[in-house]
Chain A
């Protein structure tokens, strides 16, 4: 069965420094992978997605992620953190059964220090 693991439940970085949120997946096929962001008391917003095209995916708000099949990873990065990036981030993998299900990681809370 497929699964997704977010390696850190909390990450703290200073404003202006790089952000790295780690995600590993497990799948017996080539999955689609996504990162979503959720600000407090809001819905989820799609940051970026990988669907078997380019392995380096650029998203909104300066975020990008690289699909590494050999490492089964899909880490999210941003060169310079902004205070508005403080939020919960979810790594998501599509279902093997292509049955409209997606599988969420447990989430990483990103804290931005002034």
Chain B
């Protein structure tokens, strides 16, 4: 299995809702990532988990809460989002160290209304 699977593919949520994005990989990768991508821009790093521990938080607002339950799963919990948080959210995985190349999921298209 050489894929990163993200669910849901599309999500529309109100500003008072709570929702979660899910990401799964079975390649034995021990680093997992959340990225946010706005239209016509490169992805922006949000969080990095290495060996199931949060290693990088790029000063992301607390309305985004990551979770790594085990080495194959990564969640992003969303609460009280703003319309400007609407974007494509990408999950990726790799071996730790940054030199091996990432495998990206297809993303979740999030719209906050």
Residues of A within 8 A of B (CB): 32, 34, 36, 41-46, 49, 51, 90, 94-95, 98-102, 104-107
Contact = CB atoms under 8 A, between A and B. Distances in A.
B104 to A, nearest CB: 4
A101 B98 contact: yes
B98 A94 contact: yes
Interface of B: 4, 6, 31, 33, 40-43, 45, 48, 50, 55-56, 88, 90, 92, 94, 96-107, 109
A94 B56 contact: no
B38 to A, nearest CB: 12
Given A32-B98, A34-B101, A51-B99, A100 B107 contact: no
A45 B96 contact: no
A36 B90 CA distance: 14
A98 B55 CA distance: 12
B104 A43 contact: yes
- 5 tightest CB-CB pairs across the interface, nearest first? A104-B42, A43-B104, A44-B104, A32-B99, A94-B98
B27 to A, nearest CB: 13
